[in-house]
């Protein structure tokens, strides 16, 4: 973005920052919620069961490792 003729780039950028910051804040909040869910899920017994139920390619081919 080009600075206005008066030379005050901050004045031109302020409306853009005001418009973008709520979106950035929501994105950060969503990312934090996803990270919290992921941490909790990785520690859960459900995750352990899913990991145990997934067969490795070697076992799926019939080769016991």
Domain-wise residue ranges, the chain: 22-50
What is the distance between the alpha carbons of residues 41 and 47, in angstroms, rounded to a whole number?
6
Q: What pLDDT is stored for residue 60 in this prediction?
A: 57
Could you give the dihedral angle defined by the CA atoms of residues 35, 40, 41 and 46, in that order, rounded to the nearest 10 degrees? 180
Under 8 Å between Cβ of 4 and 11:
yes
7 token code pair: 């030379």
Q: Read off the pTM.
A: 0.55
Q: E strands, 1-65, where? A: none
DSSP state at residue 1:
-
Per-residue pLDDT of the chain (65 residues; tens, 9 = 90+): 555 555 566 677 888 889 999 999 999 999 999 999 999 999 999 998 888 888 666 665 555 55
Q: Hey, how many other C-beta atoms are within 10 angstroms of the C-beta on 47?
A: 13
């Amino acid at each position: 973005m080009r600075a206005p003729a008066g030379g005050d780039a901050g004045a031109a950028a302020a409306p853009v920052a005001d418009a973008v910051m709520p979106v950035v804040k929501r994105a950060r909040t969503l990312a934090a919620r996803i990270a919290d869910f992921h941490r909790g899920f990785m520690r859960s017994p459900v995750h352990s069961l899913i990991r145990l139920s997934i067969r490795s390619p070697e076992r799926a081919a019939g080769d016991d490792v």
